[in-house]
Structure 1
C-alpha cells in the first residue's frame, strides 16, 4: 500500500483526537506553548529579577525612580518551525506507541492548533538519510502534506551514520530568518554538548519548545530473565540477565542521571521543556503544559501587588 494511503486515515484519527481534546486552547494565544516575548511594545511594569535589561523603559524609570521594563506582545501571525527527530533511537517503544509515533503526535498537535489562525509552519525532518526541509506555508493541505512526509520517513538501518540533532538545529537556525516559534521533538540521546549550544543560539531569536519523548523501558529494566538488547543506531547486541536486582538498580540510577543531565542542559539552553512518555496520556500532559505556561505568561504581565478588588 502506498505511504499516502496508509497515512491518511491515521492522520485523520490523530487530528480528531487533537481537535476534540485541545481545540481552543492555543487559538489566538502564541504564548500558549511557550511564555516569551513578541515584537510589539506593550505596557510598562516594575522590573523583576530575571527580566531582560534590554527591555528597560528608561522614561518610566526616570519618572518613578524605580526600574521598569516594557513587555512585548506577540505578533498576530507566527511562523512556526519544527525539528523532528526520526533517527533510529526513535524507532523504539514498549508501551502504547513508539517514540517515533509520539513525536509525530506532538508535531501534529502544534500544527493543527496553530495553522487555523493563518500561521505558517515548516519542518526539518531528521532521519538516517539526512535532513529534509519542508518550507513554511499556511493552510491545512500543507500541514497534512508535512505530516504525511514525516509519517512516511523510512526507518534507519542499524549502523548507518546519522546527523546529530545539534547539527540539524544549526541548519534550522540558518534557514529560519523570521522570528517565531521553534519546536524541537527528540529523545535528546545525543551527547548534550552536541546540541546545547545550537539550541541556545536558536533561543537568541526564537521561542523554543523542546519536547522530550521517552519510553518507560529507558528508565527501568523489567525482571524478565535474559534479555537481548540491540543498539538501534549501531546494531550492537548484548544479552543482559535482568534477574540481577543490583543490575536493575544501577540501570535505573544511570537512566535517572541521564534524564537529569538532559533536563539541566535544556534549562541552560534557555528553552521550555516538555516531557512526554509513550505510556502516558500525552494529550493530558500537553494540556497541563499549556495551562502552566499560560499562568506563567499572565503572571509575567500582571502589575506587582495586583489582585482582585473587593
Structure 2
C-alpha cells in the first residue's frame, strides 16, 4: 500500500485501539498482567512473624541484631508480542481478514501496556524469525509497531511456533509478559518449546481464526490453495463426507492445540474474524485477574 493509505490505516487503528485500551482495558490489563517479579526495596529490623528466609545475614552480622530484606512487587513489565506473519494470516472469508484483526488486537495490547508504563516489543515470525523490535516505551514506538503490522512483508510463508518460542527464551533474559497472536496452523510440535518458554516467561496465547478454516461451504467443486505452501487442489465441497472429514481435521487440531496450552498452563482465547475481539480479551483478562 502507498504511504498515504498506510498512514490513514495507522491513524484509524490508533483511534480505535487507543480508545479501547483507555476506556475498557486499562483496569483489567493492570490487574491481569501485574508484575510477577519481586525486587529488593530495603532492609528493616526483624519483627515477630517475619519469614526467617528473608533474613539478611550480612546486615544481621554487622549489627548483631536480625534484619530482614523487604521486597516489593515489580510493577513495570516488559511485554512481548509474538506475531504470526505466515501466509495463512492473509486469509479472510468471513468478517475481517486475520491480518487486520491481528493488527488491531496487537495495537490494543500495546496501548494497554503503555497505559501501565510497560515496555513493548515485537517478534514477527513465519517458519523463521522475520524481525525483532526491541522493547521500548512511548506512542511513537507503538505507531512504528502498527505500521510494521500493516505493511510488513515476510520472506517466508510457513509457520514454526517452536522456533519463535526458542528464540524468545534465549534472547530475553528478564522475565516478560508474552502474547502469541497466531492462527496456530502449524504442523510442527511446539509443546516442549512452549513449556520451557512459559516456565521462564508469562505466556498467553491468542488464536485468530476464520470460520472457513473450520468448515467448508457447500458450493460444489472448489479450488483450494494452501497460502503457506502455495499448493492447490480441487475439492468437491458438495460431498458430505469431504466436509465432515475437513471439519473433523479442524476439531482434532483444535483439541491438540488446547491440550498443549492446558498441559503447559498457558492461558488462551480463540477469536473468530467475524466476532468482536473485545469480549474475548475482556474474558481473558478477567479470568487472569481473579487468580
TM range (shorter): 0.7 to 0.9
- The alpha-carbon distance between structure 1 residues 168 and 152, as it changes in their structure 2 partners (threshold 3 A), is same
Q: Within the alignment, does 1:198 sit opposite 2:197 as a pair? A: no
How does 1:239-278 map onto structure 2 within 5 Å? 239-278=234-273
Q: Deviations over 1:212-268 (max 9, x none)?
A: 111100111111111110011211111111111122122212211111111111222
Confirm or deny: 8 A CA contact 2:180 2:205 kept in the other structure.
yes
**1:59 offset after TM fit, Å?**
6.5
Residues 203 and 255 (structure 1 numbering): CA distance in 2 closer, same or farther, change over 3 Å?
same
Worse-superposed segment, 95-104 or 122-131:
122-131
How far apart are residue 153 of structure 1 and its match?
1.2
Q: Can you list the C-alpha shifts for 1:104-139, whole angstroms capped at 9, x where unaligned?
A: 122111101111332111111114774211111110
CA shift, 1:38, in A, is: 3.4
Tell me the residue number matched to 2:223: 228
**Structure 2 unpaired stretches of 5+:** 41-49, 54-70
- Work out which of the two has the higher radius of gyration on C-alpha atoms and give 1 or 2: 2
* Displacement after TM superposition at 1:12 (Å): 2.2
Output the CA distance in 2 between the equivalents of 1:73 and 1:251: 52
Runs of 4 or more, structure 1, over 3 Å off, are 19-22, 24-38, 57-60, 127-130, 160-163
Q: 1:292 matched to which residue of 2?
A: 287
Shift of 1:36: 8.3
Separation of aligned partners in 2, 1:247 and 1:73: 58
Query: What pairs with 1:120-269 in structure 2 (closer than 5 Å)?
Result: 120-127=119-126, 130-154=129-153, 162=158, 164-191=160-187, 193=189, 195-269=190-264
Q: Which moved more, 1:231-240 or 1:127-136?
A: 127-136
TM-score, normalised with respect to structure 2: 0.81
Q: Which runs of 5+ in 1 are unaligned?
A: 42-56, 61-71, 298-310
TM-superposition CA deviations, 1:126-165 (whole Å, max 9, x none): 1477421111111010111112112111266xxx564622
The aligned length equals 265
For residues 17 and 267 of structure 1, what CA distance do their matches in structure 2 show?
32
CA distance in 2, matches of 1:27, 1:284: 14
Q: Residue 16 of structure 1: CA displacement?
A: 2.3
Q: Secondary structure at the match of 2:200?
A: coil
Secondary structure of 2:26's counterpart equals: coil
Q: Cα RMSD (Å) of the superposition? A: 2.7
Q: Distance in 1 between matches of 2:22 and 2:29?
A: 14
State the shift of 1:8 in Å: 2.3
SS of the residue aligned with 1:15? helix
The alignment status of 1:103 with 2:98, answered yes or no, reads no
Shift of 1:201: 1.3
- Taking the aligned partners of 2:88 and 2:234, their CA distance within structure 1 comes to 19
